[in-house]
Amino acid sequence: MKLNRKTRFTRSSSWVNFLYFAVIMCTVMFCMHPFVLIITGAAALIYSAYLKGITQLRSNLIISVSVFLITLLLNILFNHQGVTVLFYMNQHPITLESVYFGLSAGLMLADMLIIFSIFNYIMTSDKIIILFHKLPVLSLLFTMALRLVPRYKIVAKQISQAQSGIGQGIQQGNIFDRIRHFSSIVSALVTYALENGIETANSMVSRGYGLSHRNNYFKVRWTDQDKKELLGMCLLLVGFIPAFAFGGLSIQFFPTWQLQPLTMLQILGLAAYALFCLLPWLLDIREEKLWLLSKGKN
Amino acid sequence: MAFIQGKKLNFAYPHSNNVIKNITFNIDKGSFTIVLGPSGSGKSTLLKQLKPSVTPYGHSTGILLYEEKPLTQMSLREQTEKIAYVSQDIDAQLVTDKVWHELAFTLENLGLSKDVIERRIAEMTAFFGMTQWLDKDVSCLSGGEKQRLVLASALMSQPELLLLDEPVSQLDPVIARELVDLLSRVNRELGITVVISEHQLDLLLEVASHCVVLENGRCLYSGEISGMLELIGQEHTLFSYLPEQTRLSSLCFHMKNVVTVNKAKTLLDASVIPCGVLENKTRITSSPVLMNLSHLWFRYERQLPDLLWDLSFQLKQGDFTVLLGANGSGKSTLLNLIAGVEKPDRGKHLIRGSVGYLPQNPITLFTKNTVLEELKVFDKPIDNIINRLQLTNLLYRHPYDLSGGEMHLVALGKVLLTDPDLLLLDEPTKGMDVSLKSLTGRVLKAFNQNGGTIMMATHDLSFAAANGELGTMLFNGNILPVLPLKRLLSENYFYTTNTARITRDKIKGAVLFEDAISYIQKHQ
Residue ranges per structural domain of chain B: 4-236, 289-492
Q: Write the pLDDT tens digit of every residue in B279-315.
A: 877 666 678 999 999 999 999 888 888 999 999 999 9
Q: Which residues of chain A carry a pLDDT beneath 70?
A: 1-4, 247, 297-298
Taking the Cβ of residue A268 and every Cβ of chain B, the question of whether any pair is shorter than 8 Å is answered with no
Give the residue-averaged pLDDT of B44-51.
94
Compare all CA atoms of chain A with the CA of B88 and give the residue at the minimum distance: A199
pLDDT higher than 90, residue B220: yes
How high does pLDDT run on average in chain B?
92
CB neighbour class for A294 (10 Å; exposed up to 12, middle 13-18, buried from 19): exposed
> In chain A, whose CA is at the least distance from the CA of B82?
A207
* A216/B424 CB distance under 8 A: no
Interface pTM (ipTM) of the complex?
Answer: 0.88
Closest CA in chain A for residue B150:
A203
Whether the CB of A212 is below 8 Å from some CB of chain B: the reply is: yes
Closest CA to A133 of A208, A215, A211, A209: A215
Cβ of residue A66 closer than 8 Å to a chain B Cβ: no
Which chain B residues are within 8 Å of A163, Cβ to Cβ?
A: 364-365, 367
Q: B4-236 has which fold? A: Rossmann fold (3.40.50)
Distance, in Å, from the CA atom of A62 to the CA atom of A43, rounded to the nearest integer, reads 17
- Inspect the interface and report whether the beta carbons of A150 and B53 lie closer than 8 Å: no
Determine contact, residues A73/A148, Cβ cutoff 8 Å: no
Cβ contact A166–B357 (<8 Å): yes
For CA atoms B383, B384, B390, B391, the dihedral sign is negative
Residues of A in contact with B377 (CB under 8 A): 168
Cα B513 to Cα B524: distance, rounded to the nearest angstrom: 16
**String of b and e for B183-194 (b: at least 16 CB within 10 Å)?**
bbebbeeeebbb
Q: Which amino acid is at B396?
A: Y
Which pLDDT value is given to residue A1? 41
The confidence score (pLDDT) of residue A79 equals 87
Residue B59, pLDDT > 60, answer yes
Report the distance separating Cα B434 and Cα B241, nearest Å. 6
Specify the long-range contacts of residues A129-135, CB closer than 8 Å, at least 24 apart.
A129/A218, A130/A14, A130/A15, A130/A218, A130/A220, A131/A14, A131/A15, A131/A18, A133/A216, A133/A218
Nearest to A131 by CA among A10, A9, A15, A12: A15
pLDDT at A246: 72
pLDDT tens per residue, range B420-452: 999 999 999 988 989 999 999 999 999 999 999
* Whether residue B209 has pLDDT greater than 80: yes
Q: Write out the E strands in B301-345.
A: 308-316, 320-324
Q: Nearest Cα to B257, choosing from B228, B284, B226?
A: B226
A211 and chain B in contact, CB less than 8 A:
yes
CB spacing of A207 vs B153 below 8 angstroms: yes
Per-residue pLDDT tens digits for B320-379: 999 998 888 889 999 999 999 999 999 999 999 899 999 999 999 999 999 999 999 888
CATH architecture label of B289-492: 3-Layer(aba) Sandwich (3.40)
Domain boundaries, chain A: 8-129+223-297, 133-206
Q: Which residue of B has its CA nearest to A182?
A: B367
Cα distances (angstroms) measured from residue B391 to each of B288, B387, B405, B410: 34, 7, 12, 7
Cross-chain Cβ contact A196/B91 below 8 Å = yes
Compute the nearest-CA separation of B412 from chain A (Å). 11
- Nearest-by-CA chain B residue for A141: B96
The yes-or-no answer to whether B4-236 and B289-492 have a common fold is yes
Return the higher-pLDDT residue of B174 and A283: A283
CA distance A71 to chain B (A): 36
Q: How near does any CA of chain A get to the CA of B194, in Å?
A: 17
| φ and ψ of B349, to 5 deg | -130, 115
Whether A139 and chain B come into contact, CB under 8 Å, resolves to no
Residue B61: is it exposed, middle or buried by C-beta count within 10 angstroms (0-12/13-18/19+)? exposed
* pTM of the predicted structure, to 2 decimals: 0.87
Q: Which amino acid is at B104?
A: A
Q: Is A144 an 8 Å CB contact of chain B?
A: yes
Residue pairs between chains A and B whose CB atoms are closer than 8 Å: 153
Q: For residues B252 and B263, give the distance between their C-alpha atoms in angstroms, rounded to a whole number.
A: 13
Question: Does A169 contact B361 at a Cβ distance shorter than 8 Å?
Answer: no
Quickly state the pLDDT bin for B264 (edges 50, 70, 90).
Answer: very high
The alpha carbon of residue B372 and the mean position of all alpha carbons in its chain are separated, in whole angstroms, by 26
